[in-house]
Amino acid sequence: MSIATDPDRAPARSHLYAMGWTDEDMRRPKVGIASTWTGTMPCNLTHRELAAHVADGVRRAGGTPMEFNTIAVSDNLTMGTPGMRASLVSREVIADSIELMGRAHQFDAIVAIVGCDKTAPAAIMALSRLDVPSVILYSGSMMPGRWRDRDVTIQDMWEALGERSVGKLTQDDVDDLARHACPGAGTCAAQYTANTMGAICDFLGLSPFGVSDIPAVAPSKNEAAVRIGEVVMDALARDARPSRVITEASLHNAIVSVAAMGGSTNSVLHLLAIAREAGIALEIDDIDRICHQIPIVAGVKPAGPHSAADLWRAGGTSLVVRRLLDAGLLREDVTLVDGRTLAEVAESAQEAPGQQVVKTVADPVKGPGALAVLRGSLAPDGCVLKLGGKPDFVFTGPARVFDGEEACFAAIQERRIVDGEVVIVRYEGPAGGPGMREMLSITGALVGQGLNVALVTDGRFSGVSHGLVIGHVAPEAYRGGPLALVQDGDTVVIDSAARVLDLRVDAAELEARATAWVRPDRPVERGVFAKYVATVGSASDGAVTI
Ligand code: FES
């Protein structure tokens, strides 16, 4: 019996009357609208406005909206600080909070409005647990900034720090760039983690193609939000619940989208976590296998020269679908939340005349291999190499070992890192960090200085990061992985074609080091980090907490 008619739920009805509801409102399907609005970052700044538009759409289509909010943590604002440890942890908190609201209020359907990096995977995880008809509205990218006659994004901002350290830019230049790099609301303005996850929402089938691409400040975003309210009511009528939408086929397509658009390494963690929530078998090596076959066709930064707004103008992810379908690289046996087929999406793509952003599979931006999963004596459970379409290579060098990001960043700033070294940053894993900090301050500084080094860590990388970077090394150092045993000067070998990350140290010597190893103390005995350390699993399983 529903809340509208159950005699014993009269006390509950009294609170709904208190919010202005009518009897008719109570009889209609209740649609939860989960917003990740926060006034602490530009990324999700539009969510309250979008939520109001979604609510209008829900009402128009015969439902009763119930808005609620959850948290979000900005990666850019916390980067390089202890606060970055909260970022990946926030994915679990957001997922749990959306799930709890869904379980408490028993919504008939849900719209989740997502933006900054962890909000999309968190929402997908929660919706998968709740399994009521659901739609995700990705709030959209920031426009690029304009500085010295060129488009700039947050990537330029971080690399400017490295350029400052070698005298290419002054502090005044950096400060001036900071005033121009980010012109308004929206997520980081190219194919970094947030936009990678926005595309994953499309390719998984949870967001209607054509909506995620619209930049956050474009007027058409509000119109699209109204439409999302109508779509979720239609999804409710068709019972398009996540268990029917997120399938082995749609996960395949989501991985293809990461590869084809040169997406972020963070997507590996999130895809593994989503698969786990959806009860679909997905191993880290499956992601490598799929990525290995897919060239980069969208020339969006960091793999190409363009911004997310350029991709939108060129034809957006619908055009990417057309290219991939033409080459037979997508599974078509999928359910999209708006009821279309992928062929209909491809048909609807509006390619801008003369656009240079989305190329073809036959003539791609870069060859296959956005990401690669390596294993070996330094990463028995795997790690993720940001290949970025580079040709295969072997890099052999002496280790330079740092316990934590700060020590490494200081060494780079003091010019103590030299070409040819393999920079190891450890005790930054899921439990050891805790929270797998992103190493953008380090990668930005290395790129800015033009150093030819490799970086290996049990932490993560920002989607902005590029260069020879390997993250998510598992098992992590804090849990006794081989990374904990590396010493300065040890030889490390990276072989991308063989998918190998090896530590070339004699077995007896390694055993002696393992015997002598003592786990470093982590001062996180209470609160959210203590709960996280106690429950988080390996990066090779998505760093989930269940
Ligand atoms: Fe929020 Fe980049 S920091 S999207």
> Does the structure show a pLDDT above 90 at 443?
no
Predicted ipTM > 0.85? yes
Give me the catalytic one of 441, 462, 538, 540: 462
* DSSP code of residue 187: B
267 is catalytic: no
Closest by CA position to 3, among listed 32, 34, 24, 18: 24
Q: Please state the rounded mean pLDDT for residues 407-432.
A: 94
**Cβ neighbours for 101, distance < 8 A, ≥ 6 positions apart:** 32, 34, 68, 70, 107
Handedness of CA 299, 303, 306, 307 (dihedral sign): positive
Closest by CA position to 199, among listed 114, 278, 303, 125: 114
Best residue among 45, 187, 266 to mutate for probing ligand 1's pocket (most ligand atoms within 8 Å of CB) is 187
- Confidence band, pLDDT 50/70/90 cuts, at residue 263: very high
Cα distance between residue 285 and residue 517, in whole Å: 30
* DSSP code of residue 326: H
When mean pLDDT is compared across 38-47, 413-422, 480-489, the lowest value belongs to 413-422
Predicted pLDDT at 273: 98
Predicted pLDDT at 389: 76
Q: Please state the rounded mean pLDDT for residues 321-338.
A: 98
Cα distance between residue 365 and residue 356, in whole Å: 10
Predicted pLDDT at 463: 74
Best residue among 38, 74, 460 to mutate for probing ligand 1's pocket (most ligand atoms within 8 Å of CB) is 74
> Does the structure show a pLDDT above 90 at 370?
no
Cα distance between residue 205 and residue 209, in whole Å: 8
> Does the structure show a pLDDT above 80 at 234?
yes
Nearest CA to ligand 1 atom 1: 116
> Using a 6 Å cutoff on CB, does residue 265 contact ligand 1?
no
Q: How far is the CA of 43 from the centre of ligand 1 (A)?
A: 6
Domain definitions of the chain by residue range = 7-144+183-348, 370-541
Long-range contacts, stretch 46-52, CB < 8 angstroms, 24+ apart:
46/115, 46/139, 46/140, 46/185, 46/186, 46/216, 46/217, 46/221, 47/113, 47/115, 47/139, 49/222, 50/113, 50/137, 50/139, 50/221, 50/222, 50/225, 51/113, 51/225
- Confidence band, pLDDT 50/70/90 cuts, at residue 184: very high
pLDDT tens sequence across 272-289: 999 999 999 999 999 999
- Confidence band, pLDDT 50/70/90 cuts, at residue 107: very high
> Does the structure show a pLDDT above 90 at 545?
yes
Nearest CA to ligand 1 atom 2: 188
Predicted pLDDT at 163: 87
> Using a 6 Å cutoff on CB, does residue 43 contact ligand 1?
yes
Q: Contact at 8 Å (CB) between 162 and 467?
A: no
**CATH 3.20.20.70 correct for 7-144+183-348:** no
Q: How far is the CA of 254 from the centre of ligand 1 (A)?
A: 20
> Does the structure show a pLDDT above 80 at 340?
yes
Q: How far is the CA of 440 from the centre of ligand 1 (A)?
A: 12
pLDDT tens sequence across 111-164: 999 999 999 999 999 999 999 999 999 999 999 999 999 999 998 998 898 888
Predicted pLDDT at 141: 98
> Does the structure show a pLDDT above 90 at 386?
no
Predicted pLDDT at 462: 81
Fold of 370-541: Glucose Oxidase; domain 1 (3.50.30)
Predicted pLDDT at 297: 97
pLDDT tens sequence across 477-504: 999 999 999 999 999 999 999 999 999 9
The per-residue pLDDT of the chain, averaged, comes to: 95
> Does the structure show a pLDDT above 90 at 466?
no
pLDDT tens sequence across 506-528: 999 999 999 999 999 877 778 99
Predicted pLDDT at 448: 80
> Does the structure show a pLDDT above 90 at 268?
yes
What are the strands of the beta sheet with 64-69, ordered from one edge? 64-69, 30-35, 109-114, 134-138
- Confidence band, pLDDT 50/70/90 cuts, at residue 262: very high
- Confidence band, pLDDT 50/70/90 cuts, at residue 82: confident
Atom of ligand 1 nearest to the CA of 75: 3
pLDDT more than 90, % of the chain: 88
Cα distance between residue 93 and residue 106, in whole Å: 19
Length of the chain: 546
Atom of ligand 1 nearest to the CA of 462: 2
> Does the structure show a pLDDT above 80 at 195?
yes
What's the pTM value of the predicted model, to 2 decimals? 0.96
Q: How far is the CA of 347 from the centre of ligand 1 (A)?
A: 32
pLDDT tens sequence across 84-101: 899 999 999 999 999 999
Predicted pLDDT at 372: 93
> Using a 6 Å cutoff on CB, does residue 310 contact ligand 1?
no
Predicted pLDDT at 159: 86
